[in-house]
Structure 1
Amino acid sequence: MVVAISQTIQRQPRASSPGWRCALRGLGMALLALGLSSCGGGSVVRPASMQITLLGFNDFHGNLEPPKQAVIAQDAQGRNVSVPAGGAAYMAQAIAERRAANRHVALVTAGDMIGASPIVSSLFLDEPTIEALNLMKVDFAATGNHEYDQGYAELLRMQGGGCEKFTSKQPCQLSKPFKGADFQYLAANTLRNDGQPLFPAMGVKFFEQDGLRIGVGFIGMTLRNTPHMVRPSGVKGLTFTGEALTANALIPQLRAQGADVIVVLIHEGGATTSGLQDDSCKGLSGDIVPILEQLSSEVDVVISGHTHRSYLCDYAKVDARKPFLLTSAGLYGTLLTEVQLTVDAKTRRVSHRSARQNIVQGEPFTASSGPVALQREFPVYAADAEVAQLVARYKAAAQPLAEASVGRLAAAASRVLQANGESVMGRMVADSILAATQDETAGGAQLALMNSGGVRADLVPAADGSVNYGQLFSVQPFGNTLMVMSLTGAQLHQALEQQFASGTNTVDAPRILQVSSGFSYRFDRSQPAGQRVSEMRLNGQLLAPAQSYRVGMQSYLGTGGDNFSVFTEGKDVVGGMLDLDALVAYIRAQSQHGPMLLPLQERIARIH
């Protein structure tokens, strides 16, 4: 159940919208023939329906600069082509053009706008991303799990502004002071100790046209498992409730506030096997599915995120009793979802709905596989001047640090997970943790572990093999500190078993930890719980269940992140440096006498 809910936020159309422009034309404007005015009033006949446009995106992760990502789309000949996409200035222009093409528009986001961000945003505590979203004129934003990366006190600063320091980084380095978000965060299922939401649970935006007034109600939520995906200290004192039941309980309140259309913004998602513009819901799967199955049929649109997958789904094709749309715009600002709703004037309900993905194509880039050229068959957006200027300002401030060379690599290191759950980049990060913590004065680690979700980018060297600080920052953007703890062989076994059976870690979707050189084991998912991991070895020797081992990791894992609760039982904990500093020092040391060779050999053996 949902307990006491804070007030609903109401928004009127912006002064730049057509409705406001009409109202401001002036009393001296001549009336049209027969005494009718396009601004409404008098004898104007109320329209039979109203067309409302929702623009949405998710999982932006502070990618102010183009992220060097491509969207796979079909050209006129039905061939798959790679379309370069992303970049805040191009996103802003795409939004502006869609606003110009539609009369009644709301711009909303579904979480993870900030957190796990590249250096241009993260170095400044994501203040520039909030400022860019303000320039885009976002209306409402759901919170995602990464909004809580720096703790909820810092998230409250993102909303309200100010320069109070809650992290190791200095706020307000360029913006003095930082004014905070013009848009409203919504957090219906994130409750304080007093039962009130951290932010308002819901908001309504009203649209008017010739005497017809339609309210669009938004409910914003993050995934219930957020406490298991961020530092426990960052969400201490908060409770995260069930998504579907929370939303369903709020719908009557939204109706009472004048909402004719119900939209859920939720940072939880899934995947489909259908194409970019295909709304068939083919192969719909993921943690969003049980939420949709419980969600009220009064919902009209679900704008989702979290999985970094793009999809359009007309859910009536799955369940005819629930004719809502489900959408997700992928990741990093590469797509802008456009939802078109027709609201009947008599019934005040949605009579027709459709959605499409707009590819935010702005500039070409070169990937490790070669050039990714502009595809002129798809719209190419110019850069919005104001947002481009904002990004350039922060980029210039970060540039001296970002461009500093760290070392050289023999080849590109990928974060893509292999069949056994390891990645080359993941092994490198685990090795860097071990190197930084194995000295007795640093904790005396014998092995190191790293969560794969904390490895955020590939490491692609320049032509001469060099990599710079900004690239490493993109790999390790969270600012976690290292720690070393004592765990018995039995506890290590239990922790590795939690890869397959702990919260959202399951046999079908395990979270395989990255391990350092010298440590190895085997796993077999066909075995019963508690018996899936075997042959744990350290430097060739089997681990003894009762013997104590010193294990290095970063603070996210050490405080139970990603459902690895066993690590909270560690003894004799010693703190350490920032994880990024460890990676910088490791690559620098490994490339002193030539390009660093990549750790390509498997350390984990997957049997089944």
Structure 2
Amino acid sequence: MKIPTGRRRVVAAVAAVTAVLLPSAVARAAEPPVPIQLLAINDFHGNLEPPAGGTGMVTTQGAGGKPVEVPAGGAAYLATHLKRARKQHSLTVSAGDNIGASPLLSAAYHDEPTIESLGLMGLRVSTVGNHEFDEGLVELKRMQEGGCHPQDGCAQAGRPFRGASFPYLAANVIETATGKPIFPPYVVRTAAPGVKIGFLGMTLKDTPADLEPAAAAGLRFLDEVSTARKYVPELRREGVEAIVLLLHQGGKAASQIYDYDCDAGGPGSGLSGPIVGLAEQLDPEIDLIVAGHTNQSHVCTIPDPGGARRLVTSTSSFTKMFTDITLPYDRQAGDFVRSGIRARNVIVTRDVPEDPDQAALIARWEKLIAPVANKVVGYIAKELRGRGSEALEKPLGKVIADAQLAAGKSQGARVAFVTPGAIRSDLVYENGGAVTYARVFAVQPFSTPMTTLDLTGAQIVTLLRQQFINQSRDMVLQVSEGFTYTVDTTKSGGDQVVASSIRLDGKALEPGRTYRVTANDYVASGGDNFTVMREGQNRVSNGTDTEALADYLQVRGPADDPVTEPADRITFRTP
């Protein structure tokens, strides 16, 4: 059949275009994945300066498998490491708890220094964590939006607080007044030309259990799995297939060695706790879970609900590490190649130059707080480890319990109980054992009010048993002088507490007798699953935990008779 002249021109034109485009299409199909890099942090907690003592150590494996501690952390060192690690297509992200429970340098100025530091560091997106809510929703929104503090005003004359340069995400935190998330549930970032990544952000649904009631007022915290099920399809409708979950929830690592093989006994075998069950249920379209909260270091494989490989990462805490994650992006599929995702945790060593911008920021804030921070409150005979101790009964924990007992004695206290989560640092031996107020504040940064109340002997036994019931991490209470008992680790749950071994000032605890007990308000209100404390009667407030420790060191720790580590109070019976 003869083709008309006009149609021949069209056919020829189509053929010509096809000849040009076909090789290009083939080339695209064969194009290798684009390597996208995420540099992830979590649980920064305002640690601008290098964390002290054992708190600032990362455990590595030395010759013969012997654990070796490496000094790590500090914002100026972290910034240098991040700059050196960044590749062409890189984003820096956080799994929350950037602020809250912060040392004095940041806490004294309502964590404005930390928000400024993270902006300088290049943080692009963060989820909220439970500690973001320590001062309530209004203050958290100020962290995002900026403005001077409503009571204390502007921290620096002529330098109004601008707020975070990165967005906070809060998919599962609903403001009851509006019925909407307090911050966006997700954001989409372009990591390279044509490469769109969706970041979904959530905190643990049990966040209210970690807060004072006033801090959680007006908020609802939703289930993580159902929240992801709602927003992942929204991202996909927007044409986003590459999805990363920033989740402030964690688990317990099987090893304290920072780079242990989590999958040695099978995928995810080296991790336990809440994050495992969540990861197994979270939407299979989520390609990566960047976790936090429990301050554990791990890179683990936990199969998604469809059985596909999926990484769950976390980087310890306090600026000591970051996770370097490589995610191959397939342009044709518009998604990550899940099987090719790799991650490793990197120690923030202190053998690199300090980042000059961070160093200048820290120096500026240090100058402001120096008169308060550098005041000597007492002396210690040697380093007292608290958070930096792996022992269940911690050297500094015993001193803090003694300090709280001393503070409560005017209200008739016989014993004090301290939750290990309230111990945030160590007391380092320096300058002849001098302990400054800044060091005390780093140990007890919450300034939580204390309460002395009545508990029966039977209720105290229940309290001790609750240390080993429904706890996602080690939760052995630190106890004051004169209170002793035995834990039988060959048993399980609350049965580990040997009730007949409990002694107070050398005498057996009487189940029906009433004893005056001191604890901080968080524990006294049933925090950390110590629910029996809610039954306590005749409550009387008596100062804060920070004041108690400072006063104790001032009275009990003069230069010529410094505070020493007390004897152990808890006996652990092992096989």
Q: TM-score, normalised by structure 2?
A: 0.85
Given the superposition, is the C-alpha separation of residues 337 and 200 from structure 1 closer, same or farther in structure 2, using an over 3 Å criterion? same
The answer to whether residue 419 in structure 2 is matched with residue 451 in structure 1 is: yes
Distance 2:261 2:486 in 1: 40
Given the superposition, is the C-alpha separation of residues 172 and 563 from structure 1 closer, same or farther in structure 2, using an over 3 Å criterion? farther
Q: Tell me, yes or no, if the aligned pair for 2:186 and 2:200 is still in contact at 8 Å.
A: yes
Alignment partner for residue 233 of structure 1, among 200, 205, 214? 214
Point out the structure with max Rg over C-alpha: 2
The answer to whether residue 560 in structure 2 is matched with residue 594 in structure 1 is: yes
Distance 1:289 1:161 in 2: 36
| Structure 2, unaligned runs of 5 or more | 1-23
Code of the residue aligned with 1:118 in structure 2: it is P
Q: Provide the residue aligned with 1:260 in structure 2.
A: 241
Given the superposition, is the C-alpha separation of residues 435 and 64 from structure 1 closer, same or farther in structure 2, using an over 3 Å criterion? same
Alignment partner for residue 393 of structure 1, among 341, 345, 364? 364
1:443-482 Cα deviation digits (max 9, x unpaired): 2322211111111112122252222111111111111112
Q: Provide the residue aligned with 1:12 in structure 2.
A: none
Distance 2:63 2:401 in 1: 46
1:40-81 Cα deviation digits (max 9, x unpaired): xx99x8693433221111111111112253445579999986
Q: Tell me, yes or no, if the aligned pair for 2:245 and 2:286 is still in contact at 8 Å.
A: yes
Code of the residue aligned with 1:323 in structure 2: it is R
Given the superposition, is the C-alpha separation of residues 78 and 504 from structure 1 closer, same or farther in structure 2, using an over 3 Å criterion? closer
The answer to whether residue 530 in structure 2 is matched with residue 564 in structure 1 is: yes
Code of the residue aligned with 2:471 in structure 1: it is T
The answer to whether residue 471 in structure 2 is matched with residue 504 in structure 1 is: yes
Alignment partner for residue 318 of structure 2, among 327, 332, 336? 332
Q: Tell me, yes or no, if the aligned pair for 2:289 and 2:312 is still in contact at 8 Å.
A: yes
Code of the residue aligned with 2:211 in structure 1: it is V
Q: Tell me, yes or no, if the aligned pair for 1:465 and 1:595 is still in contact at 8 Å.
A: no
Given the superposition, is the C-alpha separation of residues 313 and 497 from structure 1 closer, same or farther in structure 2, using an over 3 Å criterion? closer
SS in 2 for 1:357: strand
Q: Tell me, yes or no, if the aligned pair for 1:302 and 1:327 is still in contact at 8 Å.
A: yes
Alignment partner for residue 336 of structure 2, among 350, 364, 384? 350
Code of the residue aligned with 1:516 in structure 2: it is S
% identical aligned pairs: 39
Q: Tell me, yes or no, if the aligned pair for 2:37 and 2:324 is still in contact at 8 Å.
A: yes
What's the CA shift for 1:284? 2.8
Alignment of 1:458-497 (within 5 A): 458-462=426-430, 464-497=432-465
Q: Provide the residue aligned with 1:159 in structure 2.
A: 144
Q: Tell me, yes or no, if the aligned pair for 1:160 and 1:180 is still in contact at 8 Å.
A: yes
What's the CA shift for 1:550? 1.8
The answer to whether residue 383 in structure 2 is matched with residue 383 in structure 1 is: no
Q: Provide the residue aligned with 1:174 in structure 2.
A: 156
SS in 2 for 1:139: strand
Alignment partner for residue 201 of structure 2, among 180, 203, 220? 220
What's the CA shift for 1:207? 4.2
Given the superposition, is the C-alpha separation of residues 436 and 513 from structure 1 closer, same or farther in structure 2, using an over 3 Å criterion? same
| Structure 1, unaligned runs of 5 or more | 1-41, 364-373, 375-379
Distance 1:539 1:432 in 2: 17
The answer to whether residue 506 in structure 2 is matched with residue 520 in structure 1 is: no
1:229-288 Cα deviation digits (max 9, x unpaired): 222321133232332332233210111123221101111223254762857456233321
Q: Provide the residue aligned with 2:173 in structure 1.
A: 190
Distance 2:260 2:492 in 1: 41
Given the superposition, is the C-alpha separation of residues 214 and 123 from structure 1 closer, same or farther in structure 2, using an over 3 Å criterion? same
Distance 2:306 2:562 in 1: 57
Q: Tell me, yes or no, if the aligned pair for 2:282 and 2:305 is still in contact at 8 Å.
A: no
What's the CA shift for 1:320? 8.2
The answer to whether residue 280 in structure 2 is matched with residue 296 in structure 1 is: no
Distance 1:597 1:239 in 2: 45
Code of the residue aligned with 1:540 in structure 2: it is G
Distance 2:269 2:516 in 1: 47
The answer to whether residue 84 in structure 2 is matched with residue 97 in structure 1 is: yes
Q: TM-score, normalised by structure 1?
A: 0.80
Q: Tell me, yes or no, if the aligned pair for 1:498 and 1:564 is still in contact at 8 Å.
A: yes
Higher alpha-carbon deviation: 532-541 or 287-296: 532-541
What's the CA shift for 1:141? 0.7
Distance 1:63 1:531 in 2: 36
Code of the residue aligned with 2:79 in structure 1: it is A
1:465-523 Cα deviation digits (max 9, x unpaired): 2221111111111111122122222322222222122x436xxx552211111223334
Q: Tell me, yes or no, if the aligned pair for 2:379 and 2:559 is still in contact at 8 Å.
A: no
Q: Tell me, yes or no, if the aligned pair for 1:407 and 1:591 is still in contact at 8 Å.
A: yes
SS in 2 for 1:496: helix
The answer to whether residue 227 in structure 2 is matched with residue 243 in structure 1 is: no
Distance 2:250 2:133 in 1: 18
Code of the residue aligned with 2:531 in structure 1: it is S
The answer to whether residue 89 in structure 2 is matched with residue 124 in structure 1 is: no
What root-mean-square deviation, in Å, do the aligned CA atoms of Structure 1 and Structure 2 show?
3.1
What's the CA shift for 1:108? 0.8
Distance 2:60 2:493 in 1: 42
Code of the residue aligned with 2:293 in structure 1: it is H
Q: Provide the residue aligned with 1:584 in structure 2.
A: 550
Distance 2:196 2:463 in 1: 50
Code of the residue aligned with 2:292 in structure 1: it is G
1:139-168 Cα deviation digits (max 9, x unpaired): 2111222222223332222112223447xx
